[in-house]
Structure 1
Amino acid sequence: MKPFLRLWRRHRILTSAFLLAMALAIFFAGRTIFFVAYWADPARQDLPPEPWMTIGYVAHSWHVPVEKLARDLDLPPPPKDGPRPSLERLAEERGQDFEEFKAEIESSLAELRRLGPPK
């Protein structure tokens, strides 16, 4: 503990920057571990589309590119930042009920899965 106190007294700014960097590294490592564990769970693989999901969530669950899924459904690519509309809201904007839109999504997912990854 004495070496740290000596370092703190002599280099407060550098010590503070180091502690901040360590806190950020721990935060992002924890976040990464959480997301890896979340998406590795078999219960989250190939989930049927639900009204609360977004296009990105469905694409991630099915391991298909979100841009291709959006293009197949004649939707603009989802925004990188900001709110993403739910499938229910997208269906309303298209003038469809959710079940019709869900059938389109499932058809597109089956086709994208059949084609496989680009070569």
Structure 2
Amino acid sequence: MKPFLRLWQRHRILTSAFVLAMALAIFFAGRTIFFVVYWADPARQDLPPEPWMTIGYVAHSWHVPVEKLARDLDLPPPPKDGPRPSLERLAEDRGVTFEAFKAEIEASIMDLRRQGPPR
């Protein structure tokens, strides 16, 4: 503990920057581990579309490119930042029932899967 206190007394700014960098590294490592564990769970693979899901969530679950799925459904690509509309909201905006929209999504997913892995 004494070497750290000595370092703190001599180089407060550098020590603070180092501690901040370590905290950020731990945060992003933890976040990465969380997402890897979350999406590796077999219960999250090939989930049928639900009203609360987004296009990105469905695409990730089915391992298809979100841009191609959105294009097949005549939707703009989902924004990188900001709110993403739910499937239920997208169906309402189209003026169709969720079940009809779900059938479109499933047909598009099957078509994308037949095309093979994304390039």
Distance 2:23 2:113 in 1: 40
List per-residue Cα deviations over 1:19-59 (Å, max 9, x = no partner): 00000000000000000000000000000000000000000
Structure 2 counterpart of 1:27: 27
Structure 2 counterpart of 1:13: 13
Distance 1:54 1:29 in 2: 25
How many residue pairs match? The answer is 119
Structure 1 counterpart of 2:111: 111
Identity of aligned residues (%): 89
Distance 1:76 1:22 in 2: 38
Distance 1:10 1:116 in 2: 59
Structure 2 counterpart of 1:92: 92
TM-score when normalising by structure 2? 0.98
Q: State the Cα distance separating 1:77 from its structure 2 match.
A: 0.4
Distance 1:118 1:62 in 2: 12
Distance 1:60 1:31 in 2: 17
Distance 1:81 1:118 in 2: 23
Give the alignment's Cα RMSD to 1 decimal: 0.7
TM-score when normalising by structure 1? 0.98
Distance 1:8 1:72 in 2: 58
Q: State the Cα distance separating 1:118 from its structure 2 match.
A: 4.3
Q: Is the 8 A contact 2:55 2:70 kept in 1?
A: yes
Q: State the Cα distance separating 1:117 from its structure 2 match.
A: 1.7
Runs of 4+ in structure 1 deviating by more than 4 angstroms, as ranges, are none
Distance 2:42 2:52 in 1: 20
Distance 1:100 1:29 in 2: 40
Give ranges in structure 2 of 5+ residues lacking alignment: none
